[in-house]
Amino acid sequence: DAKTTQPPSMDCAEGRAANLPCNHSTISGNEYVYWYRQIHSQGPQYIIHGLKNNETNEMASLIITEDRKSSTLILPHATLRDTAVYYCIVVNYGGSQGNLIFGKGTKLSVKP
């Protein structure tokens, strides 16, 4: 079962920032928070990941709360091509299979 909770859908106006929340209240100390997105009929695309510090790359920023129980993915200037299902997942391989457990994600619709 997924260890994260996300809203099922969100809308965002083109050119505005998209802020996608994720709750992971049972996260443990060595588990990372990852974000992927999937556009219909394509493979998941890696966006960003972090442990406890905020992270930024060319695609997005990841803000993780101090208690690590929630995080927010920020797309600073959303475009129509950012319309996709966004998945927040908690990763802890811990000698196991390397299985990524995707939940239902948030369907982000960017509107003109």
User: Which listed range, 8-16, 62-70, 72-80, 94-102, lies at the site for other proteins (CB under 8 A)?
Assistant: 94-102
Asked if 100 is part of the footprint of other proteins (rule: CB under 8 A), the reply reads yes
By beta-carbon proximity to other proteins, the closer residue of 13 and 100 is 100
Total residues contacting other proteins by CB under 8 A comes to: 24
User: Which listed range, 19-27, 56-64, 76-84, 87-95, lies at the site for other proteins (CB under 8 A)?
Assistant: 87-95
By beta-carbon proximity to other proteins, the closer residue of 2 and 74 is 2
Each residue of 17-46: b (16+ CB within 10 Å) or e?
ebebebbbeebeeebebbbbbeeeeeebee
Decide: 11 and 111 in contact? Cβ < 8 Å. Answer: yes
Residue of 22, 73, 29 lying closest to 51 (CA atoms): 29
What's the CA gap between 44 and 37, in Å, rounded? 5
Decide: 70 and 23 in contact? Cβ < 8 Å. Answer: yes
To the nearest whole angstrom, how small is the minimum distance from the Cβ of residue 105 to other proteins? Answer: 9
Residues in the site for other proteins, rule: CB under 8 A? 2, 30-32, 34, 41-46, 49, 51, 91-93, 97-104
